Structure 1
């Protein structure tokens, strides 16, 4: 009887190889041959599971998104039941920042994918939807009448800190201090007790 192959497992193996190549050498080094070599499979197997580089890239980003969501879920679970919004938001952002070996590799792929998607409107459309969902979630956590603006600022901070961490411009301590300072501003009560 032939061995049953888990299609998702094989695709994940190939996507993980793509991410390792991209994290080490950038997206320009991602090719069918390089990914096959990194995964330890034949180029034909890669073609069997992914017809195009775009399809392979999109699946790799799905894997990055799933890993990021798992890190966020774990971080939030560690807060216990019903955490305060500021604490919840800090845990979520810290879990998304490239602070661990795995999240640094994922961050490099995500950054490369942003550049890749910038010239591919169909790919960028899915990313816009993810960003809007995240912005809406953050807006639901921050206080005051300027929720959308604050949420956009928090997400911009996340992206900026991520780029600077990946580039080695900031240490983990500097990035988390900047995050805390920004959250202090967002959650600071205004004069009269109403949040800004």
Structure 2
């Protein structure tokens, strides 16, 4: 079946944000429902209601497209800007992002999305590679910088291995999310708060008792 003809865009013509959003939504839905095998470029175009050329003009491979679609699933978690990062304490930043992070962990379909992403490591490693390079690693660098600042300020022990600390926190969240009983938003927020408290990044309320 041939792709539908499309007129070439003139130089400088802006991309359609509506098409971008439809493509990302379709890619995310198909990937969550059936993994990378179900999220072919043709299937994504069909669900998004666009031609395949529209998809290929924006993403050259489905791995890059799926990686960005996965990233779109966390768009409701705010990323503090550099000025906020510099001016805000780490505990205050954690408190700021906790509600949005908890809502994401409790959102229907997030567990399936996480499972599909982890599963693609073996079957479609370029998806995880693209997601790691473009989305996880940049945020990891920000987290490391914030933790270094906390350690320098004496909020963490001087000998804290920050790489291990980050891995422990992320691993705890992934392990809990994939357990058979899903979290609701309130439970997710309590769990995240407990993780950060055990890591020494939030103050334990019981210590004031």
Q: Report the TM-score, using the length of structure 2 for normalisation.
A: 0.61
1:158 paired with 2:173, answer yes
Corresponding residue to 2:141 among 116, 127, 133: 133
Question: Who is 1:31 aligned against?
Answer: 40
Cα deviation digits, residues 117-170 of structure 1 (max 9, x gap): 453385365056235314404524472222614443333333334444xx6533
1:7 paired with 2:15, answer yes
With a CA cutoff of 8 Å and minimum separation of 6, indicate the structure with the bigger relative contact order: 2
Task: Give runs of aligned pairs for residues 99-138 of structure 1, distance below 5 A.
Answer: 99=105, 101=107, 108-109=112-113, 111-117=115-121, 119-120=125-126, 122-123=129-130, 126=133, 129-130=137-138, 132-138=140-146
Structure with a larger share of its residues in helix: 1
Unaligned runs of 5+ in 1: 190-196
Task: Give runs of aligned pairs for residues 1-196 of structure 1, distance below 5 A.
Answer: 6-7=14-15, 9=17, 10-61=19-70, 63-64=72-73, 67=75, 71-73=78-80, 84-97=89-102, 98-99=104-105, 101=107, 108-109=112-113, 111-117=115-121, 119-120=125-126, 122-123=129-130, 126=133, 129-130=137-138, 132-139=140-147, 140-141=149-150, 143-145=155-157, 146=160, 148=162, 149-164=164-179, 168-185=181-198, 186=200, 187-188=202-203
Unaligned runs of 5+ in 2: 1-7, 205-209
The root-mean-square deviation of aligned C-alpha atoms, in Å, is 3.9
Cα pair 2:105 2:183 within 8 Å, conserved? no
Cα pair 1:32 1:53 within 8 Å, conserved? yes
